[in-house]
Amino acid sequence: MEALDYHAEERRKAEFNLDEMKIVWAGSRRNYELSDRVARLVASDPVFRKDNRTMLTRKDLFKDTLRKAAHAWKRIIDLRLSEEEANMLRSYVDQPAFTDLHWGMFIPAIKGQGTSEQHEKWLPMAYKMQIIGCYAQTELGHGSNVQGLETTATFDPQTDEFDLHSPTLTSSKWWPGGLGKVSTHAVVYARLITGGQDHGVHGFIVQLRGLDDHLPLPGITVGDIGMKFGSGAYNSMDNGLLRFDHVRIPRNQMLMRVSQVTREGKFVQSDVPRQLVYGTMVYVRQTIVSDASCALARAVCIATRYSAVRRQFGSQNGGPEIQVIDYKTQQSRLFPLLASAYAFRFVGEWLKWLYTDVTQRLQANDFSTLPEAHACTAGLKSMTTSVTADAIEECRKLCGGHGYLSNSGLPELFAVYIPTCTYEGDNVVLLLQVARFLMKTVSQLGSGKKPVGTTAYMGRAEHLMQCRCEVEMAQDWLKPSTILEAFEARAVRMSIACAKSLGKFSNPEDGFAELSPDLVEVAIAHCQLIVVSKFLEKLQQDIPGKGVKRQLEILCNVYALHLLHKHLGDFVATGCITPNQGALANEQLRLLYAQVRPNAIALVDAFNYTDHYLGSILGCYDGNVYQKLYQEAWKDPLNDTVVPDGYLEYLRPILKQHIRTARL
């Protein structure tokens, strides 16, 4: 018997080859096959069930997380999965866990900041999970300002050890994931002090708990910081607190790639830039951009499928009502998010390439592209996570009342996702880093130093400051060079205007602080330009499959023109376009939405998400939403009994009070 599919008609409407689009989304046929296999493996395993987790108490949820992590590890070993497959498996399990920090930060920190001897000693144990580690940087008093951390690591030449100490309450480590209850080790960031001199913040490998009894080692106070936002969600993670009372570690546990301390206690700064101490953050910010496209795609998939099932108003002669996806307002809210998911996917791919490139250069002692890698990872992390967090909430609203049900999957996705706007660098703080980079680039324009990479367009500032947009008809906005020039002109004009305003301040730092809201806008304009330009570059590639490239062109135009519409004030105020050209862009956008419409369901099918991973009744593949909602309601614990617990104590006395009152 053929399976029921409420979306069958929608799927028939698609004007492109879905299988080829799946490959474009996955990045390659190989990636597609790997991720498809691993996603199904997870979805079919009852241990990885997650439909009940919002009902669990914190303790039960945490134990369930430990159970899943242990089971995942067993599957990884038994099936001899590669590192890439293992990472995929953990991400499809879709439950924040200490393993994210062990594999995602502890190991990368040792790899990036440790010497080859330190790699040899620590990495084999970490890879086998004989030790489990976390990344302990943030403190109660300081997170963004890393240079303000207070924990000290004082070298004692007598014993050849560091003495780790938390001198104040605010120096307590606070937030590290996996620290609270699991990690046996941590990379701890502390101020290095030798001979009474403070050399700033460095990383140290510190054992926290006994490997036999899991008890904190002497001098260490460690625990969980408490419940976080939402039910289920990030509460599966044991974000922790940590204090040191003169804990001793051997000298060779300082991560010594960037700087060294000799046996005599001499501090040696190598020719590697000190910013490499921040290298793990650059790595993780890069992964967060790719993850943003996954989270956004997930929310959009749910909202799109549900919008095709849901009908409201407009029935004629007893016929069906209108599918809400056919309302132009629904399309103008949903389709830019669909386009953004694809845009973030491609910029994430490019950022991964950039990161790999900078890593190879660093190994060859070429540090020239580090500032750009920092600016791109910081800016794109900030922009993509802010958009995605807002988009998940918008998708909830696009699903009307049912979007607010836990089993729509959207509340939990929102609760898990929103801290990405804060962790790995607060989004505003990171945009200000991008702004600094841009202001520096502008200040060097007259010096003969040619801007390269993502700021190469600034080298054409003279042209971009005075060029005029040539759009006369709506369809002129479909020309890639027209779109690109409008975004470049807007970014360069905003940057130069800010640089000029900064020049009016006698103290540049005062100017930077005063103008910081404008500088944030400049950074956003630059990041949006990067995303648009990388989408356009993607379209230069040979993309096989009937209609696939055409769909991507439509999505790219939707992405760019919706941004132009949203930030029309910037484009018009900087004289990049006229108000009339802005209106033509909006007209073209409406035409593009009509072209997306028949392909919408297939475009979200291309994400290839299993129902298990989506975790949403509204987004399930077959679209059988109402029956599933109805069945699911009866599974709620409140429906275990017809009359609720508490009726006799609390309800009945109220309900019966009129009888007593009447008798009085």
Ligand X SMILES: CCCCCCCC/C=C\CCCCCC(=O)SCCNC(=O)CCNC(=O)[C@H](O)C(C)(C)COP(=O)(O)OP(=O)(O)OC[C@H]1O[C@@H](n2cnc3c(N)ncnc32)[C@H](O)[C@@H]1OP(=O)(O)O
* Closest CB to ligand X among residues 508, 644: 508
Per the annotation, the verdict on 349 as an active-site residue is no
Is residue 422 a contact point for ligand FAD (CB under 6 A)? yes
Judged by CB under 6 A, the chain residues 84 through 123 that form the site for ligand X are 87, 90, 100-101, 103-105
Is residue 377 a contact point for ligand FAD (CB under 6 A)? no
List of E strands, 362-464: none
With H, G, I as helix, E, B as strand and everything else as coil, classify residue 132.
coil
Is residue 425 a contact point for ligand FAD (CB under 6 A)? yes
Burial level of 462, CB count in 10 A (0-12/13-18/19+)?
A: exposed
Stretch that binds ligand X, among 2-10, 48-56, 114-122, 282-290 (CB under 6 A): 282-290
Is residue 522 a contact point for ligand X (CB under 6 A)? no
Phi-psi category of residue 290: left, alpha or beta, with phi > 0 → left and psi -120 to 50 → alpha: alpha
- The site partner of 428 among ligand X, ligand FAD, none (C-beta below 5 to 8 Å per kind) is ligand FAD
Would strands 267-269 and 259-261 be described as parallel, antiparallel, or unpaired?
antiparallel
* Closest CB to ligand X among residues 225, 322: 225
- The site partner of 565 among ligand FAD, ligand X, none (C-beta below 5 to 8 Å per kind) is none
Is residue 414 a contact point for ligand FAD (CB under 6 A)? no
List the structure tokens of 169.
Answer: 């309450």
Nearest Cα to Cα of residue 414 among 427, 424, 405? 405
* Closest CB to ligand FAD among residues 31, 422: 422
Q: How far apart are CA 38 and CA 119, in angstroms?
A: 29
Stretch that binds ligand X, among 69-77, 134-142, 406-414, 656-664 (CB under 6 A): 134-142
Stretch that binds ligand FAD, among 139-147, 200-208, 217-225, 291-299 (CB under 6 A): 139-147
Buried b (16+ CB within 10 A) or exposed e, 468-499: ebebeebeebbebebbbbbbbbbbbbbbbebb
What is the side-by-side order of every strand in the sheet holding 220-224? 173-174, 240-244, 220-224
What value, to the nearest 5°, has the Cα angle with vertex 290 and ends 53 and 354?
Answer: 155
Q: How far apart are CA 5 and CA 224, in angstroms?
A: 46
Q: How far apart are CA 501 and CA 317, in angstroms?
A: 64
Q: How far apart are CA 384 and CA 524, in angstroms?
A: 10
Query: Cβ of residue 75: shortest distance to ligand FAD, in angstroms?
Result: 25
Is residue 135 a contact point for ligand FAD (CB under 6 A)? yes
Length reported for the chain: 664
Q: What are phi and psi of 470, to 5 degrees?
A: -100, 15
Is residue 101 a contact point for ligand FAD (CB under 6 A)? yes
- The site partner of 239 among ligand FAD, ligand X, none (C-beta below 5 to 8 Å per kind) is ligand FAD
Stretch that binds ligand X, among 262-270, 273-281, 583-591, 593-601 (CB under 6 A): 273-281
Is residue 423 a contact point for ligand X (CB under 6 A)? yes
Is residue 137 a contact point for ligand X (CB under 6 A)? yes
Q: How far apart are CA 463 and CA 169, in angstroms?
A: 55
- The site partner of 103 among ligand FAD, ligand X, none (C-beta below 5 to 8 Å per kind) is ligand X
Answer for the pair 99, 236: CB distance below 8 angstroms, yes or no.
no
Residue 438 identity: L
Is residue 379 a contact point for ligand FAD (CB under 6 A)? no
Query: Cβ of residue 419: shortest distance to ligand FAD, in angstroms?
Result: 4
The contact pattern for ligand X, residues 172-211, with x = CB under 6 A and - = no contact, is: -----x----------------------------------
Chain position carrying tokens 């804990």: 247
Q: How far apart are CA 473 and CA 479, in angstroms?
A: 11
* Closest CB to ligand FAD among residues 425, 480: 425
For ligand FAD (CB under 6 A), the number of binding residues is 22
Judged by CB under 6 A, the chain residues 140 through 169 that form the site for ligand X are 143-147
Residue from 419, 511, 615, 619 in contact with ligand FAD (CB under 6 A): 419
* Closest CB to ligand X among residues 389, 558: 389
- The site partner of 379 among ligand X, ligand FAD, none (C-beta below 5 to 8 Å per kind) is none
Is residue 234 a contact point for ligand FAD (CB under 6 A)? yes
Is residue 225 a contact point for ligand X (CB under 6 A)? no
Is 545 annotated in a binding site? The answer is no
Is residue 539 a contact point for ligand FAD (CB under 6 A)? no
Q: How far apart are CA 66 and CA 72, in angstroms?
A: 10
Q: How far apart are CA 381 and CA 422, in angstroms?
A: 10
Is residue 281 a contact point for ligand X (CB under 6 A)? yes
Burial level of 66, CB count in 10 A (0-12/13-18/19+)?
A: middle
- The site partner of 87 among ligand FAD, ligand X, none (C-beta below 5 to 8 Å per kind) is ligand X
Q: How far apart are CA 397 and CA 337, in angstroms?
A: 13
Q: How far apart are CA 517 and CA 108, in angstroms?
A: 34
Of residues 424, 485, 488, 553, which has the active-site annotation?
424
Is 646 annotated in a binding site? The answer is no
593 Cβ contact list (under 8 Å, min separation 6) = 328, 331, 332, 335, 558
Q: How far apart are CA 241 and CA 180, in angstroms?
A: 6
Residue from 34, 429, 467, 629 in contact with ligand X (CB under 6 A): 429
For ligand X (CB under 6 A), the number of binding residues is 31
Judged by the rule CB under 6 A, the positions of this chain that interact with ligand X are 87, 90, 100-101, 103-105, 135, 137-138, 143-147, 177, 275, 278, 281-282, 284, 287, 370-371, 374, 423-425, 429, 433, 436
Binding site members for FAD: 138, 177
Binding site members: 138, 177
- Residues with active-site annotation: 424
Judged by the rule CB under 6 A, the positions of this chain that interact with ligand FAD are 101, 135-138, 142-144, 175-177, 234, 239, 419, 422-426, 428-429, 432
